[in-house]
Structure 1
Amino acid sequence: METFLNFFETMPIWLKAGWVFFVLAVFWILEGYYSLSTKPYKKWRHGKANFILLFFVMIINAVFGIVTLGVFTWLGAERFGLLYLIKAPIWVELLLSILVLDIIAQYGVHYLLHKVPAMWRLHIVHHSDKHVDATTGTRHHPFDFIIRETFALVAVIIMGMPISFYLFYRILSVAFTYFTHANIKLPLKLDKALSYVIVTPNMHKFHHHNQLPWTDSNYGNMFSIWDRLFGTFVYGNINNITYGVDIADHTDDENILVQLGIPFNKNVKSKTL
């Protein structure tokens, strides 16, 4: 197990970046054969804005990587965090760390991005996409992503986890991000069965419906247990979904400058909370 985790700790940066593009490419290709939504759109033109936002995300990721190394060095030196207070097999510690990261750095911050007005205005950019596909997983306003990364560091500090745990979670999270946003169609029974434990493509698509209450549901990234536990789980008729967000439907979702300006655009009204 330690050898397995050490692989992620020593993973070169080019391989981490390669994993992002590999997973994105796999689901990009699968969308052409097993599409959930068959509504026609120009896939490359649509993806352009999302790829530019991915570029910003990767720069922020690199900067936070430096900060993260400092945090892990401090945690090791001070022996700070919950994992230093318990004795458990390494696989138990890994599972606990993944669960804490998932509820704080994914479900928790995602919930706040919908409920705190200033944060929601940043998050509108993610929801303004009118053609949800694998590239939508990369679609975050830079300030939105900085908030997400900050919450991830909070989870790391609370647990006092080793860097290998954190990097393993990041690898899993990338795969789930593209899997859940991908425009792919799983057999309905399989999707529903999987949604009892993990977030599935159908389940996450309800979150991208353009109107409440579905927009404020299914906040999870990896595990669906948080949505079920906190009453934010929704699973309806997939054919009733319309992508986008009604308060920004008048904006050009493929114009990167328009999207970067949405949080500061007075013509885009905040939802009634």
Structure 2
Amino acid sequence: MDTIIAFFENLTSLQKFFWVAGCLSLFWILEGIYPLKKHQYNKWKHAKTNLILLLSTIIINVVFGILTVGVFIWIDANNFGLLNMIDLPVWIEIILAIMILDFTSQYLVHYMLHKIPVMWRFHTVHHSDTHVDVTSGTRHHPIDFIFRETFALLGIVIAGLPVSYYLMYRILTVLFTYFSHADIQLPHFVDKTISYVFISPNTHKFHHHHTMPWTDTNFGNIFSFWDRLFGTFVYKDTKDIVYGIDILDAEKADNILYQLKAPFKKDLKSAEYKA
């Protein structure tokens, strides 16, 4: 266990980059072999918009990375956070850390992105994708991503995490983000079984349906039991899913300038008016 912790403590930016690129490439290949929906669109043109948005999140990540280092130093100096109040085996601490971060920086903030009108405006960019595939996991308006990273910092402080636990979580969340967005068709019983604990590809696709009520379901990223616990879980027939969001122009789903400016439109309906 000490070896694993030491590895994550010394994880380099290059290693993290290769992990992101590797996960993207793996699921890109798999969705070409086992697609959930037939690819009747230009995947490279579609990916361009999402990868440009990925570049913006990488820049934001650098800024928040500096803030995060300061937070870790403060936590260590003040012995602050839940994990510093109790003495547990390391493997249990790691599981608790991942659960706390998955709840605060994924489920909770994602729920708020749908329920708070000003936050929803920026989150519509993620939902405006009319062809959900692995690159859709990178599709976040910069301000949407700032909301997410702010809640990640909150989770770090609440839990009192060491940097190694946090980086374990980040590695896992990258994997599950691309796994759940990938346009792959697993055998139904496999996907269904996975969905009892984790967010499976089918599970997340309902969240990307273009109208309510499915739009406001399956908010989790790693674990599905948050949705089950709070009554936001759904699992139906994927054939009924239509991607996109009905309050933005579907024909401009791949127009990067339109997507960046859309949240500032005065006539954009708020979350409470989605129908």
Query: Fold conserved (TM > 0.5)?
Result: yes
Paired letter, 1:260 = L
Deviation string, structure 1 residues 168-201 (Cα, Å, up to 9, x no partner): 0000000000000000000001101110000000
- Report the Cα distance in structure 2 between the residues aligned to 1:267 and 1:72, rounded to whole angstroms: 42
Structure 1 residue 63 and structure 2 residue 68: aligned? no
Structure 1 segment 197-208 matched on structure 2, within 5 A? 197-208=197-208
Paired letter, 1:5 = I
- Report the Cα distance in structure 2 between the residues aligned to 1:139 and 1:190, rounded to whole angstroms: 27
Deviation string, structure 1 residues 141-171 (Cα, Å, up to 9, x no partner): 0000011001000010011110000000000
Q: Which position in structure 1 is the counterpart of 2:111?
A: 111
- Report the Cα distance in structure 2 between the residues aligned to 1:232 and 1:154, rounded to whole angstroms: 23
Q: Which position in structure 2 is the counterpart of 1:123?
A: 123
- Report the Cα distance in structure 1 between the residues aligned to 2:2 and 2:245, rounded to whole angstroms: 44
Structure 1 residue 269 and structure 2 residue 269: aligned? yes
Structure 1 residue 136 and structure 2 residue 136: aligned? yes
Structure 1 segment 72-91 matched on structure 2, within 5 A? 72-91=72-91
Aligned residues: 273
Deviation string, structure 1 residues 86-143 (Cα, Å, up to 9, x no partner): 0110011111111100111000000000000000000000000000000000000000
Aligned-pair CA distance for 1:233: 0.2
5+ long unaligned stretches in structure 2: none
Paired letter, 1:51 = L
Q: Which position in structure 2 is the counterpart of 1:170?
A: 170
Paired letter, 1:158 = I
The 8 Å contact of residues 247 and 271 in structure 1, kept in 2 or not, is answered as no
Paired letter, 2:29 = I
The 8 Å contact of residues 126 and 139 in structure 2, kept in 1 or not, is answered as yes
CA RMSD, 1 decimal: 1.0
Paired letter, 1:258 = Y
Q: Percent identity?
A: 57
Report the secondary structure of 1:119's partner residue.
helix
5+ long unaligned stretches in structure 1: none
Structure 1 segment 1-273 matched on structure 2, within 5 A? 1-250=1-250, 252-273=252-273
- Report the Cα distance in structure 1 between the residues aligned to 2:249 and 2:37, rounded to whole angstroms: 19
Paired letter, 2:202 = N
Aligned-pair CA distance for 1:39: 4.4
Paired letter, 1:223 = F
- Report the Cα distance in structure 2 between the residues aligned to 1:39 and 1:172, rounded to whole angstroms: 27
Runs of 4+ in 1 over 6 A off after TM superposition: none
